[in-house]
Amino acid sequence: MSTGRSKLSWRTAAAVAAASAVIGIGAWSAVGEEPAGPRLDTRAERIMYGRETRQFDTLEQLVGSTPYIVKATVTDIQPGRSVGDAESGGVEQARDVTLAVEVKYKKALLPSTLVVEEWGWDSEGAGYQVENVAWSKVGDKGYYFLTKSSAADRYKLINTQGRALETSDGMLELSADPDSDLATYFNGWTSVDLAGQIMYLLRPENSDQLQTVPQAPAAPTASMTAPAAEDGTEEPYPDDSVDDGSEPSASPTS
């Protein structure tokens, strides 16, 4: 595993977030046969950075801009679809995270079970997480701010700020950058606090408090496609990564 600093290019970010072409998802074959694709890491070994298409500073913006909001528990995780090609920045494979929905705050007609795509693995099966969105684990429970994925019957986080997990003491573990305005906004909140605020904001009489943050244009600017400048620091690694240079492991997920 390389220890050089990694940046998620605009093309790779676009493939990860929105590409619709399915290249293939078969990483495993019948018992006794060689795997049909790369062996997949059981944990994220590095963190990739992209450029958000929108950024939220308050809960009013997050709730107002998100089509689907649920409280749910992770019940299963499996390798998902692959997208991209060498010309667009490489092939990336998603993780299919199954959620058992406990509360539907927005869009009550949602099914009771949802599959959310999270990223991911690269073309060699090396695991990475995007920004602060650590890989989900079975048993995770929390609040998911979702939109439709480009894949049929799949959802994705509205952006990397769109998940707030419950901790064992009832507090919140955010996927937002801990130094962001949104993380500051949530400072000291419990799970009960968040549930109450979501329900408050979704009452019809409070709709004027909601704000919508528009999505940035899909076409990249020159600054978006330019390579990230090297700053001399090493690439960050997820908290549970060993970063021991080992080969990808043979298990599809943890």
> Cα–Cα distances in Å, from 120 out to 162, 198, 216?
17, 29, 23
pLDDT at 139: 97
pLDDT tens for each residue of 51-94: 777 889 999 999 999 999 999 999 999 999 988 877 776 788 99
Rounded Cα gap, residues 219 and 202, in angstroms:
33
Residue the block writes with tokens 């943890």: 254
The DSSP bridge pattern shows strands 46-48 and 128-130 to be parallel
pLDDT at 145: 97
41-213 fold: OB fold (Dihydrolipoamide Acetyltransferase, E2P) (2.40.50)
Asked if residue 40 lies in contact with residue 254, where contact means CB atoms within 8 angstroms, the answer is no
pLDDT at 9: 40
Rounded Cα gap, residues 131 and 151, in angstroms:
22
In the predicted model, what is the mean pLDDT of residues 158-174?
94
pLDDT tens for each residue of 194-217: 999 999 999 999 999 999 988 776
What residue type is assigned to position 126 of the chain? A
pLDDT at 219: 53
DSSP letter at 58?
Answer: S
pLDDT tens for each residue of 91-126: 889 999 999 999 999 987 899 999 999 999 988 899
pLDDT tens for each residue of 175-185: 999 989 999 99
- State the pTM of this model: 0.73
Rounded Cα gap, residues 130 and 118, in angstroms:
9
Query: Which carries the bigger pLDDT value, residue 246 or residue 155?
Result: 155
pLDDT at 210: 94
What percentage of residues in the chain have a pLDDT greater than 70?
69
**Pseudo-torsion of CA 61, 46, 22, 9, nearest 10°?**
70
Which among 150, 72, 82, 84 has a CA at the least distance from the CA of 114? Answer: 72
